[in-house]
Amino acid sequence: MSGSSYSRYGHGTYRASAIPPLPKVPKERGRVSEDLLPFGDYAHINPYQQICADAELVQHMEQKDKQFYESDDWWWDHQRIRFIKSQLGLSVLLMAFPVAYFFVLLSFPYFFILSISDAVFEYNRTFASVAIPLVAIVGFCLVMIATVYTTQPAFNGLAKIISFLLTPFHKWFASRANRYMQNRQSELNRQTGMVSFAQGKKKPPLVAPFVEFDGYVESGAACSTD
């Protein structure tokens, strides 16, 4: 980081050692199943694994282009972090795929049992009353195991197929994606000490000093702000 980079930092720059006095909060800050994070480097630790991953990514990108961080496609550097707030629809879709995939796999032993049940009962009803539930239990267990180990490859394969089918519409989707990103791009700016939260294309972004936001740790180690 060069000296000229430091010269562009303003008076509002966030510094953990110089947090200004804050007004009293208007409501209770506690949340169910979430922990409020203190400001500053309160734990005096660095996330070692994340630092290593970021360093490797930066080195990889730098091999391709020394000025990669100046591109609009690069979302973070030592001055700011830009991000897109996760959308509920996409999250639901990602969570729904493993469930739907599980029931698709479960349909195979189900239809297999239906196809053989009449013949097995005609052969021996006592044998059928034991064999069919046993096949159902074994089939369910095998489907559970198969779901765990094949969901990710199946999802990747489906994504590739959809991407191939939509190739003729790539430019249209790219233009829509760029507009979507512009309308929903939020930013944490270290130079100004301000946070900008996008509110969609019909509303201007919500801009306020970083110290006016509370950070929370949710169940499952996900982070949120408010």
Which of 55-59, 70-74, 138-142, 166-170 shows the lowest per-residue confidence on average (mean pLDDT)?
70-74
Q: Which of 133-137, 214-218, 222-226 has the highest mean pLDDT?
A: 133-137
pLDDT reported for residue 81: 81
Report how far residue 50's alpha carbon sits from residue 39's, in angstroms, rounded to the nearest whole number. 20
Return the structure tokens found at 121.
């009962």
Give residue-wise pLDDT tens across range 17-44: 777 776 676 677 767 777 777 666 656 6
Across 60-159, where does the E strand assignment appear? Answer: 80-84
Mean pLDDT of 107-132: 80
Q: Give me the residue spans of the domains in the chain.
A: 3-79+190-225, 89-170
Which of the 8 DSSP states describes residue 119? Answer: H
pLDDT at 88 over 70: no
pLDDT at 80 over 60: yes
pLDDT at 1 over 60: no
CA angle 142-105-137, nearest 5°? 40
The answer to whether residues 13 and 202 touch, using CB atoms and an 8 Å cutoff, is: no
Cα–Cα distances (Å) from 183 to 59, 92, 151, 207, in that order, read 30, 21, 33, 14
Residue of 172 and 149 predicted with greater confidence = 149
Give the three-class secondary structure for 202. Answer: coil
pLDDT reported for residue 45: 64
Which strands form 223-225's sheet, in the order they lie side by side? 34-37, 215-218, 223-225
Which of 29-38, 44-53, 95-104, 164-173 shows the lowest per-residue confidence on average (mean pLDDT)?
44-53
pLDDT at 225 over 80: no
Cα–Cα distances (Å) from 178 to 26, 73, 84, 156, 181, in that order, read 37, 10, 12, 23, 5
Give residue-wise pLDDT tens across range 61-74: 788 777 777 666 67
Query: Shortest CA distance to 152 belongs to which of 107, 218, 101?
Result: 101
Which of the 8 DSSP states describes residue 218? Answer: E
Mean pLDDT of 171-198: 77
Q: Return the CA Rg of the chain.
A: 26
Residue of 90 and 97 predicted with greater confidence = 97
pLDDT reported for residue 3: 43
Q: Residue 54: which H helix or E strand, with range? A: helix 48-64
Report how far residue 108's alpha carbon sits from residue 129's, in angstroms, rounded to the nearest whole number. 20
